[in-house]
Amino acid sequence: MPLSAPEQRPLGRTGDQVTTLSLGGCGLPRVSFAEGVATVQRALELGVNCFDTAPSYSSGVSQAILGVALQGRPEPHLVSTKVGNLEQRSRFRSPDALHTQLEENLRLLRRDCADIVLIHEADHHYWWSDEPSENLFVDLESEPEVANAPVMQVLQEARAAGRCRYVGISGNSPDHLAHVLRAAGDAEVDVCLSALAYGLIDRGIRHQLLPVASERGTAIALGGVFRRGRLAAIRPESLHTAPIWAGEMTPEEQARVPRLVELQQESQLSLVALTLRYLVGDRSIATILVGAATPAEIEESVAAVQAGPLPPDLHQAVEALGLP
C-alpha cells in the first residue's frame, strides 16, 4: 500500500495543524550527516510537517542537518528547537546567554524564525529561581516565578521580534511540567513536549499534565515513546537473560515486560507499530515524535500511523499494561 500523509490535528490554540507523527532530531546524526538529511527529506515527501531539534542534540549537528535538509523546500512545515542545557547554571538566568543561544540555533537552522521554541527541561529548578536547591526538579510545593523568569522574557521578546512564532516547555517529569504550566498564569505556553512518560507501559502524563494542558489550550507533543530506543524492538537475548533495558527499569515496569512480549508476538506487530498505533488512539495528543535516523525508519513509522489506532481488544490489552 502506498504511504499517505499522516492525519493532522490542531496544535493547541495556535490555529496551526500538525501531523500526528513528527520527526524528532535527537537521533538524526546517528548514521551519518547525509543519511540524516535524506531522512528529513523523506519525511517531507511522506507528508510529515513537524521537525523538532535542540542545540544539545549532537552538539548542534542535528540542527545543522535540519538546516540543510529543509532549506528551500516548498512543503509546508514547522520547525521546533529549544534553549537550555547551557554549560553554566548561571546562564539559565542570563538573557544575554539565552538570546545568543537562540540566534545560534537559527543560524544552524538556516532560517530567520523558528516556528516553536521550547524551554529544554523546563521541569528543572534552576530555570525558575536563583536560590540553590538540592533537588534537580522544581519543588512541587513552591510557587515558581514562571511568567517573570528570564527565559520567558527572552522567548516573549523573540516572538515580538519575529524570531519565533510559538513558545513552550519540555521535560521528562510530567507532574513537574504540569506544575510549571499551572504557575505560568497568563503567560502563553503554546506547546508542551513531554518525554519518556507515555508509551506501552508509561502513563504518567495522564495524572496531571493532560488535564492542565487541556484547560490552558496547550498542545501536547510526546517524545521518547520508545524509551530512547530500548522499546523500539525486542532483542531475543533479552527474553531469557536481562530485562529489555536493564538497570533503568523500576520493578513495576520490569514486571510488565513478559506480558508486553506476549502481546507483541500475538499481534505480529513490531513494537514501533504497536506503540504508535496505541498512542494515536489518544485524541488529546497533538503529535508524536519519533527519532528516525534513516528513510526506512521514518517510512516504518508513517506506515504505522497510517494503519490507524489498534483494534479495540488489542488497545485494551495494551491499556492494561499501564502503570497506575
Domain ranges of the chain: 8-235+271-311
- pLDDT, average across residues 174-201: 96
Cell numbers placing 122:
523546563
Per-residue buried b or exposed e for 33-59, using 16+ beta carbons within 10 Å of the residue's own CB: eebbbbbbbbbbbbbbbbbbbbbbbbe
Q: What is the pLDDT of residues 130-163, one digit of tens each?
A: 999 999 999 999 999 999 999 999 999 999 999 9
- pLDDT, average across residues 91-100: 97
pLDDT for residue 238 is more than 60 = no
Nearest to 151 by CA among 129, 176, 183, 179: 129
pLDDT band at 241 (very low <50, low <70, confident <90, very high): low
- pLDDT, average across residues 182-206: 96
pLDDT at position 242 is 62
CATH architecture of 8-235+271-311: Alpha-Beta Barrel (3.20)
| Summary mean pLDDT of the chain | 94
Q: What is the pLDDT of residues 53-94, one digit of tens each?
A: 999 999 999 999 999 999 999 999 999 999 999 999 999 999
pLDDT at position 47 is 98
Q: What whole-number distance in Å separates Cα of residue 41 and Cα of residue 228?
A: 23
Nearest to 201 by CA among 92, 274, 125, 309: 274
Residue with cell 500511523: 305
pTM above 0.75, yes or no: yes
Name beta bridge partners: 219.
191
Per-residue buried b or exposed e for 185-210, using 16+ beta carbons within 10 Å of the residue's own CB: eebbbbbbbbbbbbbbbbbbbbebbb
pLDDT at position 225 is 96
Nearest to 39 by CA among 14, 4, 10, 66: 66
The 3-class secondary structure across 31-78, one letter per residue, is CCHHHHHHHHHHHHHCCCCEEECCCCHHHHHHHHHHHHHHCCCCCCCE
pLDDT at position 234 is 76
Q: What whole-number distance in Å separates Cα of residue 133 and Cα of residue 138?
A: 9
pLDDT at position 94 is 98
H-run or E-run covering 304: helix 295-306
How many CB atoms are located within 10 Å of the residue 130 CB?
11
Q: What whole-number distance in Å separates Cα of residue 55 and Cα of residue 121?
A: 13
pLDDT band at 258 (very low <50, low <70, confident <90, very high): confident
pLDDT at position 240 is 58
Residue with cell 500523509: 5
Phi and psi for 245 in degrees, rounded to 5?
-125, 70
